[in-house]
């Protein structure tokens, strides 16, 4: 099942992508894609619906983030062995956790701002885990039962702010528009193996990233359990799991984004995003 939210920013309605490629309106069934709607029981209720009986959404509406009401936008750093190698960083012994500002969250095809004064804005295609049930100190063995599904995330980053301005990584990760998510939440029953998904990112038609979740250092089960040790995860929360090699920072010489460019990125079975870069 592919769940989404459509409409102008701040006015999104819940929907699903039907088998025929049309968007069907879920606003008569649930208030939004948040809270109980993302639980196992809530998703089962949606899966039992006859999509053809739901109102068809006409045209080509804007897509927003496929979930709302999150409390935590969690990211994992240096979680691909081949990406760590391209940056010259050692393999982490434990997952590197940082938080992305909730204000960075945006729709999958919304414009991405290059902030004023930025010289090192970069791209990162990532597999995002979307939590469906409150998780606190959960075991690895049980951790997938707390997952609603998966989505594509672009962990846009300003590298100078992230690593050269002192303090934590967060300041380079949280600018408005730096967290495109979607186009939809794909429920976990449709993802046979989250550790075997191809993924890519292109800038102006040039493919920079061409990787696979196979090279993740810490997998989905480990990450959900690990993060839940440190703070409680809530329905709609996102864990963005790191990026494969090919980021701008890793090019020789490095390549960074400027206004007027386009990004296209996607993950096998989870859909694609397309963004234009604009001056912030």
Mean pLDDT in residue range 109-136: 98
Q: What is the DSSP letter of 277?
A: E
Position 88 pLDDT exceeds 80: no
pLDDT band at 31 (very low <50, low <70, confident <90, very high): very high
Question: For residue 233, what are the β-bridge partners?
Answer: 135
Residue whose token pair is 């919304």: 110
The CA distance from 55 to 207, in Å, is 38
Position 107 pLDDT exceeds 80: yes
Closest CA to 243 of 193, 173, 161: 173
Position 33 pLDDT exceeds 80: yes
The CA distance from 109 to 60, in Å, is 12
Contact present, 145 and 221 (Cβ < 8 Å): no
Mean pLDDT of the chain: 96
- CATH ID of 73-279, from 2.10.240.10, 1.10.3720.10, 3.90.850.10, 3.30.360.10: 3.90.850.10
Distance between start and end Cα atoms, the chain: 35
Position 15 pLDDT exceeds 90: yes
Parse the chain into domains and list their residue ranges. 2-57, 73-279
Please tell me the least confidently modeled range out of 51-65, 123-137, 155-169, 221-235: 155-169
- Please give the distance of CA 132 from its chain centroid, rounded to a whole number: 15
DSSP code string of 205-249? TEEEEEEEGGGBSS-HHHHHHHHHHHS-B-TT-EEE----S--GG
Mean pLDDT in residue range 170-177: 94
Name the pairing type of β-strands 185-187 and 238-240: unpaired
Handedness of CA 70, 71, 73, 79 (dihedral sign): negative
Position 163 pLDDT exceeds 90: no
Tell me what pLDDT residue 91 has: 86
Contact present, 99 and 73 (Cβ < 8 Å): yes
pLDDT band at 130 (very low <50, low <70, confident <90, very high): very high
Q: Give the model confidence (pLDDT) of 216-275 as tens digits.
A: 999 999 999 999 999 999 999 999 999 999 999 999 999 999 999 999 999 999 999 999
pLDDT band at 124 (very low <50, low <70, confident <90, very high): very high
The tokens for 182 are 């979607």
Burial of 260 (0-12, 13-18, 19+ CB in 10 A): exposed
pLDDT band at 188 (very low <50, low <70, confident <90, very high): very high
Position 118 pLDDT exceeds 90: yes
Tell me what pLDDT residue 16 has: 98
The CA distance from 146 to 265, in Å, is 27
Tell me what pLDDT residue 274 has: 98
Tell me what pLDDT residue 81 has: 85
């Amino acid at each position: 099942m592919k769940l989404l939210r459509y409409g102008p920013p701040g006015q999104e309605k819940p929907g699903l992508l039907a088998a025929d490629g049309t968007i069907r309106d879920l606003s008569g069934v649930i208030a939004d894609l948040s809270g109980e709607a993302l639980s196992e029981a809530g998703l089962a209720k949606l899966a039992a619906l006859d999509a053809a009986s739901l109102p068809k959404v006409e045209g080509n509406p804007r897509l927003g983030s496929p979930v709302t009401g999150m409390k935590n936008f969690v990211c994992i750093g240096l979680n691909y062995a081949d990406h760590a190698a391209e940056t010259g960083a050692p393999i982490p012994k434990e997952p590197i956790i940082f938080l992305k500002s909730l204000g960075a969250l945006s729709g999958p095809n919304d414009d991405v701002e290059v902030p004023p004064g930025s010289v090192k804005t970069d791209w990162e295609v990532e597999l995002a885990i979307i939590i469906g049930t409150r998780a606190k100190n959960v075991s690895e063995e049980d951790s997938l039962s707390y997952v609603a599904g998966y989505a594509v995330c672009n962990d846009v980053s300003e590298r100078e702010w992230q690593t050269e301005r002192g303090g934590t990584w967060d300041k380079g990760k949280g600018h408005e528009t730096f967290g495109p998510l979607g186009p939809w939440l794909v429920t976990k029953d449709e993802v046979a193996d989250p550790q075997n998904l191809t993924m890519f990112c292109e800038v102006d038609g040039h493919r920079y990233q061409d990787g696979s979740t196979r090279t993740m250092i810490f997998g989905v089960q480990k990450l959900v359990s690990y993060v839940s040790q440190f703070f409680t995860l809530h329905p709609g929360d996102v864990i963005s799991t790191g990026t494969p090699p090919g980021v701008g920072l890793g090019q020789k010489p490095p390549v960074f984004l400027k206004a007027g460019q386009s990004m296209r990125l996607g993950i096998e079975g989870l859909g694609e995003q397309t963004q234009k870069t604009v001056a912030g």
